[in-house]
Amino acid sequence: MDRSKLHSVIALDMVEFEFNGTPHKSPPQTTVAGLLESLGIEYRFCAVEVNEEILPKAQYSIYEVKPGDRIEVVTLVGGG
């Protein structure tokens, strides 16, 4: 298969969703944990909301991002 066709196939398979108010794409079966890792976000120090519902940390490695999801991530920042 030539590369131009391969690129088109891969692009069609991407899951489109909103991440912190911005359009985003990820491969199918991407979990919230995988998404956070790919973005360099340490999930131990953040809260994730999917479609206006808080996602429990125990679900981060189970929940797969779906087309049209609205994902919001809030990270904790230490300081004095």
- Residue-wise pLDDT for 28-44, tens only, equals 999 999 999 999 998 88
Domain assignment of residue 19, yes or no: yes
Give residue 41's domain range: 3-75
Domain assignment of residue 42, yes or no: yes
Domain assignment of residue 66, yes or no: yes
Number of structural domains (the chain) is: 1
Give residue 35's pLDDT: 97
Q: How confident is the model at residue 72 (pLDDT cuts 50, 70, 90)?
A: very high
Q: Identify whether the C-beta of residue 63 lies closer than 8 Å to the C-beta of residue 34.
A: no
Domain assignment of residue 47, yes or no: yes
User: In angstroms, rounded to a whole number, what is the distance separating the alpha carbons of residues 71 and 10?
Assistant: 22
CATH code for position 38: 3.10.20.30
Q: State percent of the chain over pLDDT 70.
A: 81
Domain assignment of residue 61, yes or no: yes
User: In angstroms, rounded to a whole number, what is the distance separating the alpha carbons of residues 18 and 9?
Assistant: 22
Domain assignment of residue 80, yes or no: no
Q: State percent of the chain over pLDDT 90.
A: 71
**pLDDT higher than threshold 60 for residue 2:** no
Domain assignment of residue 35, yes or no: yes
**pLDDT higher than threshold 70 for residue 70:** yes
Instruction: Choose among 14, 77, 36: nearest CA to 50.
Output: 36
Secondary structure (3-state) at 20: coil
